Structure 1
C-alpha cells in the first residue's frame, strides 16, 4: 500500500502521479486509509494537526510518488445576503456555535444542518443547497474544529 508521509511546498511546479479527492472532513485526517477513484489504496501518515488544502502535494514514504489533493465536491449550504452586515451577523452566530464555515466576500458556506438553515433564514439570509468543494477556515490557532 502507498503511504504518504510529507507535504511538499506548492511554491514550485511539481509533477504528480495522480490525484486524491477528499472532503473537508477527510482533509483533516492525518492517519487514515483512503481509496482512489480507480481503486488504489493510499494511507496517510502525516504529522498530527495537518490540515490539507485543495492543490496540496503529498509525497510517498520512499519519495517515488507525488499525489495532488483535490477538494471533493460535497453537499453544503451557501448563505448570502444583499446586506454585508447581515452576512457578518450570520457568520457571528455560526461561529458562536463552533460550526466550521468557509468565508468569502459575498457568502459563507457550511455543512448541511436543518436547524442552522432555519436560523439563517429567520435572520433574513438566502440559503441555497449546493454540491461544491468546501474549504472551511482553520482555527485561529492553526487547528480545525471538525
Structure 2
C-alpha cells in the first residue's frame, strides 16, 4: 500500500501515477485508507487539518504522485431568478453552519429534507443532482 505524506506545490510539473476521486467530506480526511478505481490501495498520512482540493497533487514516500479530483455526489442545487433570494437562502444556510458551495448562479449543499423544505418556503428552486461538490472552506480555511 502506498503512503502519501506530502502535498506538492501548485503548478508542480510531475508525472501523475494515480487519480483519486473523493467526495467533499473525504477531502477533509487527512489520514485515511482509499482505493483507486483500478484497485490500488492508498493511505493518506497528511498533517492533521489538511483539506484537499480538486487538482491537488500528493506525493508518496516512494515518489509516486496522485492527483485529487472531486467525485460527483448527491447534492441539492439552489437557484433563483432573483439574486436577493439566493442571498437570503445563503444567509439562512450559513446561520445553520451548513457546508455550502457558493457560485454566481447557484448554491449547493448536501441533501437534507428539512433544509430543502426551508429553501422551498423561501421561494428558491431546489433541484437534486449528482455533481462534484466543493463547499467553501470558510473565512479561517477550516471545515466544520
TM-score band (shorter)? over 0.9
Tell me, in whole angstroms, the C-alpha distance in 2 between the residues paired with 1:141 and 1:76.
Answer: 24
Tell me, in whole angstroms, the C-alpha distance in 1 between the residues paired with 2:105 and 2:14.
Answer: 33
Tell me, in whole angstroms, the C-alpha distance in 2 between the residues paired with 1:48 and 1:33.
Answer: 15
**In structure 2, what is the equivalent of residue 55 of structure 1?**
55
**In structure 2, what is the equivalent of residue 96 of structure 1?**
95
Asked if the contact 2:7–2:58 (Cα under 8 Å) also holds between the matched residues in 1, the reply is yes
Q: Spell out, residue by residue over 1:56-98, the C-alpha distance to the aligned partner (whole angstroms, 9 max, x if none).
A: 0000023x20000010000000000111111011001000001
Tell me, in whole angstroms, the C-alpha distance in 2 between the residues paired with 1:61 and 1:110.
Answer: 35
Cα offset, 1:120, TM superposition: 0.2
**In structure 1, what is the equivalent of residue 21 of structure 2?**
21
**In structure 1, what is the equivalent of residue 78 of structure 2?**
79
Structure 2: stretches of 5+ with no match in the other structure: none
Q: CA RMSD for the aligned pairs?
A: 0.8
Please identify runs of 4+ aligned residues in structure 1 that moved more than 3 A. Answer: none
Q: Spell out, residue by residue over 1:35-65, the C-alpha distance to the aligned partner (whole angstroms, 9 max, x if none).
A: 1111111000001111101110000023x20
Tell me, in whole angstroms, the C-alpha distance in 1 between the residues paired with 2:35 and 2:14.
Answer: 23
Tell me, in whole angstroms, the C-alpha distance in 1 between the residues paired with 2:82 and 2:60.
Answer: 47
Cα offset, 1:119, TM superposition: 0.3
**In structure 2, what is the equivalent of residue 139 of structure 1?**
138
SS in 2 for 1:115: helix
Cα offset, 1:129, TM superposition: 0.4
SS in 2 for 1:93: helix
Compute the TM-score of the two structures, normalised by the length of structure 1.
0.96
